[in-house]
Amino acid sequence: MENLGILYFSSTGNSLYIAKKIQEKLGGKILFIPEYDGNGGEFGKIIIVTPIYSYGMPLPVFDLLPRLNGSIEITVIQNYGGMVGGADYPRSASFT
Ligand SMILES: Cc1cc2nc3c(=O)[nH]c(=O)nc-3n(C[C@H](O)[C@H](O)[C@H](O)COP(=O)(O)O)c2cc1C
């Protein structure tokens, strides 16, 4: 996939593992969200890979979403231990 950014957050490695699997299939550049301060404008498409922590998003991911350029296609992949809570709210949220 052309010009794909794979932005991930991970503490125990599961989301990084998923990000690497995506890169193997689709190519793209993997970036660690706490070290990324851009708005995603350099990418044509972004895949965010994040765990669910305490029924929500880790803070660095939560902070990133409204910062991203709203014209870019963004896919959010959440992995978790079986308790989603309200952490899938970005599905219906609008980021502009
Ligand atoms: C601090 C913490 C909080 C978590 N909270 C939840 C939760 O609320 N619901 C859930 O289903 N899993 C929860 N988990 C499990 C993680 O979502 C799951 O292990 C995930 O794969 C971790 O991803 P990572 O290895 O990329 O950090 C939690 C894990 C940690 C470490």
Query: What are the boundaries of each domain within the chain?
Result: 4-91
Q: Which fold has domain 4-91?
A: Rossmann fold (3.40.50)
CA of 51 to the centre of ligand 1 (A): 6
Give percent above pLDDT 70 in the chain: 91
**pLDDT: which is higher, 45 or 94:** 45
pLDDT in tens, 4-46: 999 999 999 999 999 999 999 999 999 999 999 999 999 999 9
Residue located nearest, by CA, to atom 4 of ligand 1: 53
Distances 74 to 34, 39, 41, 82 between C-alpha atoms, Å: 18, 12, 12, 23
- Residue 45 and residue 56: Cα distance in Å, rounded? 24
